[in-house]
Amino acid sequence: MVGEASNGWESIELSRKLLPDVILLDITMPDLNGIEATRHILNENPHMKIIGLSVHPDNGIASEMFKAGASGYLTKDCAFEELTKAIRNVIAGQKYLCSVIKERVAAAFISAQSYRTGLTGPKLTPKERLVLQLIAEGKSTKDIAGELNLSIKTIETFRLKIMNKLGITNIAGLVKYAIREGLTSLEK
């Protein structure tokens, strides 16, 4: 292990500095979730291999991680042997999906069932997903504006657009939605 980050932005910075071959990335990190961090990291360093880690054995979240460019997806309760197998596979250029959800994902693709692919319904932009995550983490409009270097009015507009797209009428509903979709967790 060459480094450890406590949030999504820090993981991006460490990936720039340390240039690791493989990154184990928590999906529900504060400030910037693992899906968005994966997009940023691979945009700058497409040769890096990222394995998403989640407490959620959810094929929709796994699908979003792979869409972001990840090479693997594991649940945090996987055995050490599975973790080492995943690392070996992604280094060899293969994709790796944890055994807990592999069969569910295959069944969903084969049967062409409609299943969640990250944020359901109307597609949210990456900036809207980030604002939603920060709202769900309990940050104030002023704090979000400062963190993203935007005006308070812009953040309020983002919040209203998100609510309209998702058909949600209050902040509590946004928080529940973000937790259900894996943008944040109750652990924070």
Distance CA 39, CA 35 (A): 7
The two structure tokens encoding residue 175: 């928080």
The two structure tokens encoding residue 138: 């309990």
Please say whether the beta carbons of 67 and 119 come within 8 A. Answer: no
pLDDT of residue 140: 94
The two structure tokens encoding residue 88: 């070996």
pLDDT of residue 93: 93
Under DSSP, the state recorded for 46 is T
pLDDT of residue 106: 64
pLDDT of residue 180: 82
pLDDT of residue 63: 84
Kindly list the averaged pLDDT for each block of 10 residues, start to end, along the chain of length 188. Answer: 88 94 92 93 95 83 90 90 94 89 66 44 82 92 94 95 91 88 72
pLDDT of residue 187: 64
Nearest CA among 126, 125, 104, 127 for reference residue 116: 104
Is the domain spanning 8-111 CATH 3.40.50.2300? The answer is yes
Can you tell me whether residue 166 is helix, strand or coil? helix
* Beta partners for residue 53, in sequence order: 26, 74
Report the top-level CATH class of 126-180: mainly alpha
Domain ranges in the chain?
8-111, 126-180
